[in-house]
Structure 1
Amino acid sequence: MSCSRSALPYWLASPGMLMALAFVALPLMIMLSLSFYSYLPGGAVSAQITLGNYTDVLSDSYYYSIFARTFGMAILVTALCIVIGVPEAYVLSRLSPRWRAISIVIVLGPLLVSVVVRTLGWAILLGNEGVINKTLMELGLIDSPIKMMFTFGGVVVAMVHVLVPFMVLAVWASIQKLDPATEQAAESLGAGLLTIMRRIVFPQVIPGVLSGGLIVFALATSAFATPAIIGGRRLKVVPTTIYDEFLGNLNWPLGATLAVVLLVLVMGVSMGINRLVERRYKQVFQ
């Protein structure tokens, strides 16, 4: 009887594990194996195993620039989401229950809309004939439209709007565990708002900032719809390059290689940052 009880959690988790194996692990294994084959003209795949795809990716400056642009964009988007999301989550936690419920709906409402629809909305705003340029021209602030579409800045702005709710959710969950008495004690000792945020609130919500930052970073590096619509075909990032290799050039092995390299880099950066922040976090509070 004891053996069956000890095995019960595994039996309950087995459906989810099988689903993860079928829809996550197995496709990743297929993609990894595909990256070791070579491409034949016409869209065929050779049966000969080779490391040539990895050699091409790791030795070509063209791919280096694409990866640098992708990770630079992801880092900037993550930093902006932290700057916006942490104060926003703090304000949400201090609102009355009624206004908090309304504010949460406003913050999380965009998640209920497709990312493609939201990105197309930004395309309408940022275009040469868009709302922003027309408004600025009617006010006499500019004489000609400002180029915001198909630019790095336009992609970053749209990505921040898409991903900042994830940061707010992660930080807000950490803020719920804070003891308001610590802030009241600091205020009674003469500490200002900025000092309270820097010395008391922010150090205690580092786990939420870390988890939210890792989520935003991973989603930003793998985002396809927003860079494809706002950035266009000239502003290449890794996901759009993978799409072009798979469906444009029919070079499936090279596309799989780029996907594997991106996955390894994202996992490496995420694990490294996690270890670094956790180590400093323990040093501060030991």
Structure 2
Amino acid sequence: MKIKVALGQFNIQFAQPAANRTRVRELVAAAADGEADVVVLPEMWNTGYALDKLPALADEGGQETLALLQELARQYQVGIVGGSVAVKIGPHFVNRTLVVDPLGNLLGQYDKVHLFGLMAEDQYLQAGNQENYFRLAGVPSASFICYDLRFPEWIRTVARHGTDLLYFPAEWPAVRIPQWEILLRARAVENQCFVVAVNRVGDDPDNHFNGHSLVIDPLGRVIADAGERDGVIFAEIDLDQLGTVRGPIPVFADRRPELYK
């Protein structure tokens, strides 16, 4: 079984949700033109890290974002891992992923579990505490967000359900991009999964981002690297490869969780 993924790496406009929604429309259209099965977006694409402006900018309940993703999924018959957006829930704000299938059905949502103090998330956002496990394009999958990548125990907790594909939307600054690739390759190898990770490009008032969205196979090999350009890149994922990787080295069967305290 093979699926084609489209990585929508773009320059998020700081504190400009309307402009970013327009760009997302363009990216999903381009992904559909390339006959992608799934399109993936970066982290906090509606507002960027304009955290002090969230009372005015965050999407109330995530409803505007969900409606947009559902509309685009139905129009182009494509699954969407909607990166993540700033969402207002009552008096709180969360960094939330929404996933929809080509019929516009909401398959799952995920609020970022690990908040990144270096970018002040812990001052403005409420952490999530739930997994996001779903089946998209026929593939058992899970999604995480950016800083979650540094917590292999959390990734393994979710991956043990039988995931074949892990999604990581991010806003990962250029200064730490060497670690980005190392960590993503490690998560692919140790969980014997494919990894699709979408970063952003451009600048906000405090950070420079240089993309390098990646698709990685379960042996840790980079299948696709978006480089530093704004736009969509494509990669084909051959899920049949999983059997040849997992058969000789059944890491999940060989676990001893009673020792992992």
TM-score range normalised by the length of the shorter chain: under 0.3
Question: Could you state the TM-score of these two structures normalised by the residue count of structure 2?
Answer: 0.23
Work out which of the two has the higher radius of gyration on C-alpha atoms and give 1 or 2: 1
More RCO (CA 8 Å, sep 6+) = 1
Higher helix share: 1
Higher percent of residues as strand = 2
